[in-house]
Amino acid sequence: MNHARKGTKELEIGGQTLEVDYTYTQGDPGQTSGPPERCWPEEPADLEVEAIRLIGWVTDDLGLGSPPRKVVFDVTDLLAEWEQGGGLDGLEVTMLDQGDWDDREED
């Protein structure tokens, strides 16, 4: 039985930093040889994107030497239309391609 793991991953896409909350379930290659009672079908890995935040940095314009401040914009709802065109599926594929998911700790 595969357990779902929740986590957050930071991605660089198109020069922008995205922070993505996800749930990942490891796949199972299945067993296709041997006695039928010891065989089962393959189950692909599953990645569900739950929230997406755009990360940016703001500096003061007054020349006071203040360090940049991190700003975070939740863009999950803004991407709803993008999802209808397969955008989140594409993001999930990008995330799967960029990670060693099966070695991560369970949350």
> Per-residue pLDDT for the chain (107 aa), expressed as one digit of tens each?
568 899 999 988 778 888 999 999 988 899 999 999 999 999 988 888 888 898 988 777 666 777 888 888 888 776 665 555 555 666 666 666 666 555 544 44
The whole-number pLDDT of residue 49 equals: 85
Give whole-number Cα distances, 32 to 38, 44, 45, 74, 104, in Å: 9, 15, 18, 44, 27
Please tell me the distance from the alpha carbon of residue 4 to that of residue 24, in angstroms, as a whole number.
5
The whole-number pLDDT of residue 107 equals: 45
The whole-number pLDDT of residue 34 equals: 92
Q: Which secondary structure element, helix H or strand E, spans residue 38, and what is its range? A: none
Tokens of 24: 């990942």
